A and B are shown apart, each in its own frame.
Chain A
């Protein structure tokens, strides 16, 4: 009797364990189901290379949005990677456990702050400052990059810290024994040894930046053109979807789902690279 119950429980748990697989499948299936027919009809190339997005006139080109997403993502990395990797190195190699135990929860708190609040700070503080000191409307790639750069910090910091602390202490001890300073050890021994883990962290940070929606809508200005300077306003793929989904119907809605398909592919490629890099490390 008990044996049977145990068997049933085991089968039941296997089913539950496949819930993430089912969820990922459902998401992929429904996003593609809504977006692919449009792509087939409009043409993938025209969709990706079109520079005009005018749903009223049946013009659906997302090149400006792809450019926008890429610009703010690169900007976020320029701000977030040096800060994040620097912070992680300092916390792991230049300070003691007491300081780490105070700073780490604060960084986790940074991850807990809602993205709408980040966007709000961008509108209220950063954009006016940029407007006064650097010109333009203040709602630009520049502003969005700073805010996104801070938003990806928790991801970059925690993964860099993990990969630095996972290194065998022998590396560090050997280098110090040879008379190297802390900094020389970091640059010549620890960073090269941990570089794949740090890279995975940076790629995951990229995924966060490219997928961020609410903060970017609030601070990037949402202009529908290909930017020519970092003080230009841009619309990202995510903003485009969130801004127009509320009222889009028919072909327009299908086009937004096609936009989501492209975003989804971007994200899945980034995720897979990060996962593969991390898996290789663990071997």
Chain B
């Protein structure tokens, strides 16, 4: 066949792959927002769950989701950033870094249901924390580690070495150069990873059902059980409790995820423009 013609056909076929991929995204977002957004009201966001989710609002699930996201970040961020600092500043490539990188990659590939089962036996039963916000947050923190490590490592590596050399030249120590120069400069990049991890906490279901539980009440402490928004959505959608409520909850979930992605996109862009 004529190569010019093949080229035309190929770009048409490949272009349609892009169109299909993007239409899937656009369809999902518009379908959910079109059916769900009109049902979202201030009452829906601030009322307790009534009749197992048939009526009322989703206030308890918003509180649970926020608590889960905040606490898991507080656990995962120091560990993840610390690991990234070690990998970039304190060691050369050797067996230890190979092991750490391999386990990080492995951890990233473990499905959330396995994390959920682990959280259930380890935090809920073995450590006796029960179905609680704390058990859920610890499980989430473990899941977030790989993302935070990778993005922090990239961010730290993007900071020019000369910045650090200046600190040494002024008589600063290694730790001073890290805390006062490198980490502040790398912060937008590190934050991107943290915000993406918040997204993971918001959309996670399988790992939370067996760790944070499915209580309908607003959690009063980190030791109370509480269903996250995604878990609540799963329950009412799968058991067919109320389709309008399911659509409204899905709309809130999608808007949250959209905002998280937009913020992380702009942060990352600003960061890359500065150094790349």
Contacts and interface: CB of A to CB of B under 8 A. Distances in A.
Interface of A: 2, 5-6, 9-10, 12-14, 16-21, 23-24, 26-27, 30-31, 33-34, 82-84, 86-87, 89-91, 94, 103, 105-110, 112-121, 123-125, 150, 153, 157, 180-184, 186, 204, 207-208, 210-214, 217-218, 238, 241-242, 245-246, 256-257, 260, 263-264, 267-268, 270-272, 274-275
A112 B21 contact: no
B24 A24 contact: no
Contacts of A120: 32, 233, 237, 246, 250
B238 A217 contact: yes
A116 B237 contact: yes
Contacts of B20: 83
Contacts of B261: 105, 108-109, 112
Contacts of A5: 175
Given A30-B118, A115-B203, A184-B3, A23 B107 contact: yes
Contacts of B11: 90, 94, 182-183
Nearest to A27: B118
B25 A183 contact: no
Contacts, number: 243
Contacts of A210: 111
Given A6-B175, A87-B17, A183-B11, A267 B87 contact: no
Interface in B222-256: 230, 233-234, 237-238, 246, 250, 253-254
Contact of A20 (B83, B175, B238): B83
B234 to A, nearest CB: 5
B32 A30 contact: no
A90 B18 contact: yes
B257 A89 contact: no
Interface of B: 3-4, 6-7, 10-11, 13-15, 17-18, 20-22, 24-25, 28, 31-32, 78-79, 82-83, 85-87, 90, 96, 99-100, 102-107, 109-118, 120-122, 126, 142, 145-146, 149, 173-175, 196, 199, 202-206, 209-210, 230, 233-234, 237-238, 246, 250, 253-254, 257-258, 260-261, 265
Contact of A242 (B113, B174, B199, B233): B113
